[in-house]
Amino acid sequence: MASPVAHSLAGIGIYWISRRRFDRPIGSAFRLKDLLPIGLSVVLANISDFDLIIGWIADQYLHHQFSHTLAFALFIGGLAALAAPLFRVRRFRAFWLVTALVASHVVMDTFTKDTTTPKGCMLLWPVTDIYFISPIPIFLDIWRMSPALTFGYNNLNAAIRETALGGLFLLIVHRFHRFPRPAIRYLLPGTGLFIFLAIVAHRPLMTRAERQLELFWGPPPVQAASIAPEGNTGILFASRRTGNMDIFWIQPDGSELKQLTDDPAEDIWPIWSPDGQWIVFQSDRSGNRDVWMMAPDGSGLRNPTRHDAMDESPYWTASGNQIVFSSNRTGEFEIFVMNRDGSNVKQVTRSDAGMELLPAVSPIQDVVAYSANKPLIPGWHIYTLSLNGGNPLRVSSEPGCRARWSPDGQFLAYVSGSMGNPTDIYTFRENGRRRQRLVATPEYDYDPCFAPDGKYVCFARAAGKDKSGWDLWIVAIGGRELRSLTTDGLDNRFPCWR
């Protein structure tokens, strides 16, 4: 989102364009009666961001939803038209001016460098809930995760750039509708100064802003050499070899087995962050299922969800700035996304009949694959959905679940099999085509994940029909090579390969 600086300057310019009387001498000063409509224009140009205050009061993330749509701009414009006669203003003029002021906020936010999903604004809601964002950002995203970042270098950099761009916009307005001379006396040199600062100070300010952001997220603790192999590569998995489910780390050749968690709780579903500096996993150590984070040596434990609902099966977004997970905090299980510190929780899937579970995000784009059980479609199926909104796409023609993306984002490995029968590991393209079975055995095969080169898949296999005694196996794409990675049968599940 752009800051109030950009929206306020846009509001002033739009108001000045709308003025119907330009018969005063160019050199005259502003009249006091100009201040009220200018101030009201500034408020209307920023009114969409009042959803931040409402969301803070309601303890929900409401930003960039209804208040950031063209429908909202038309709604506020309609209210202004109804009230116009009370202020002796023509209805049509009040309607288009207020609509333009509110719509300017929405349009400007679509030209902002958004760093979290969904990106942009739902411009055409309720026609579609797709978020629109310009591929070429003009404004910097405003950071507000903490007071230090709100008043930090990134937002200072954004304010300088917005003042420069806003000054240029006001100079264009002045070209057609002259400002009084005292205003232009300061506008022209002021705009030149901020253009100079925007060019010269951008890189130094961004360097300092990135350092501030690192301090906010907190660097992972220094990892012990005896625990963290160089490069943080290997296969994470959960196992009951300690008596309860804990997180372990093993190399693809079976060496360097390390235990990362040691808690009486059930720790499962570990997922590497894209940069290998963090591991997110599911645990009930807080009394119910929550999302937890830790460094690759098991230190630095954090609980970003801290919610009394069931928060399960977390997964990183491609940027590593956010975590997608499933939760029943709104009733049935849906897919949610949040910042990795637990802030800005947003629901991704719609609250309709059925459950949405086990999300996995593409490594190259903001698309999540998940398993869903819909009332009118028998069995579990795999769907994909853009984190920027739109309609979900069912990509599995037959029952399937637990999908994971290939490193290039072109294929999905998943579990397929009818209810009550043994399951096998398959792959298909992201659109559901080119379906291929990797393994065909009488056992139950679950939890597939691709190797970093995309040539192998690691998965968990049960020893019998009671779905117990799980071990990890590795199979080559094409199914010609198959070997076991663990052989103890102590419920080795949920591999994640990096």
Judgement on whether residues 212 and 258 belong to the same structural domain of the protein: no
Closest CA to 302 of 335, 330, 338, 331: 338
Residue 228 lies inside a defined structural domain of this protein: no
d(CA 381, CA 346): 23
Give me the CATH number covering residue 255: 2.120.10.30
Q: What is the mean pLDDT of residues 405-411?
A: 96
Query: Are 211 and 336 within one domain?
Result: no
> What number is the average pLDDT over the span 410-436?
85
Q: Give start and end residues of each alpha helix (H) in 26-152.
A: 32-46, 50-58, 70-83, 91-110, 147-150
In the predicted structure, residue 224 carries a pLDDT above the cut 80? no
Q: Average pLDDT in the 77-92 region? A: 92
Q: Is the pLDDT of residue 110 over 90?
A: yes
Whether the per-residue pLDDT at 223 is higher than 80: the answer is no
* Burial class of residue 251 (count of CB atoms within 10 Å of its CB; 0-12, 13-18, 19+): middle
Are residues 244 and 208 part of one domain?
no
Which backbone phi and psi does 229 adopt, to 5 degrees? Answer: -60, 155
Are 23 and 103 in the same domain? yes
List beta partners, residue 450. 457
d(C-alpha 168, C-alpha 82), whole Å: 34
* 230 CB neighbour count, 10 Å cutoff: 6
Upper half-sphere CA count for residue 492 (Cβ side, 13 Å) = 27
Same domain as 272, residue 191: no
Percent of residues in the chain assigned helix, strand, coil, to nearest 5: 30, 25, 45
pLDDT over threshold 90, residue 452: yes
When pLDDT is averaged across residues 461-477 and rounded to a whole number, the result is: 89
Question: Are both 168 and 241 inside the same structural domain?
Answer: no
Q: What percent of the chain has pLDDT over 70?
A: 93
Residue 60 has pLDDT above 80, yes or no: no
Query: Residues 270, 335: one domain?
Result: yes
What's the pLDDT score for residue 178? 74
| Per-residue pLDDT, 228 | 52
How far apart are the C-alpha atoms of 190 and 100, rounded to whole Å? 26
For residue 213, the surrounding DSSP H or E stretch is helix 202-217
Domain count, the chain: 2
Q: What is the residue-averaged pLDDT of the chain?
A: 90
Full domain range(s) for residue 144: 4-217
H or E element that contains 17: helix 4-18
Could you tell me if residue 269 is inside a domain? yes
Position 402 confidence tier, pLDDT thresholds 50, 70, 90: very high
Verify that 295 and 151 share a domain, yes or no: no
Instruction: Decide if pLDDT at 464 tops 80.
Output: no
Domain boundary, last residue among 172, 189, 217:
217
Q: Read off the pTM.
A: 0.87
Q: Please give the share of the chain, as a percent, with pLDDT higher than 90.
A: 67
Pairing of strands 311-316, 436-437: unpaired
Do the Cβ atoms of 449 and 442 come closer than 8 Å?
no
Q: What is the arithmetic mean of pLDDT over 9-22?
A: 82
Q: Of 183, 217, 251, which residue constitutes the final position of a domain?
A: 217
Looking at residue 30, what is its pLDDT?
A: 54
- Looking at this protein, which amino acid is placed at residue 131? Y
Please check whether residues 153 and 296 belong to one and the same domain.
no
- CA-wise closest residue to 485 among 465, 457, 455: 457
- Domain annotation covers residue 321: yes
258 with 348, same domain: the answer is: yes
Domain contains 227 = no
| CA-angle at 162, arms to 156 and 166, nearest 5° | 145
Q: Please determine, for residue 416, whether its predicted confidence score (pLDDT) is greater than 80.
A: yes
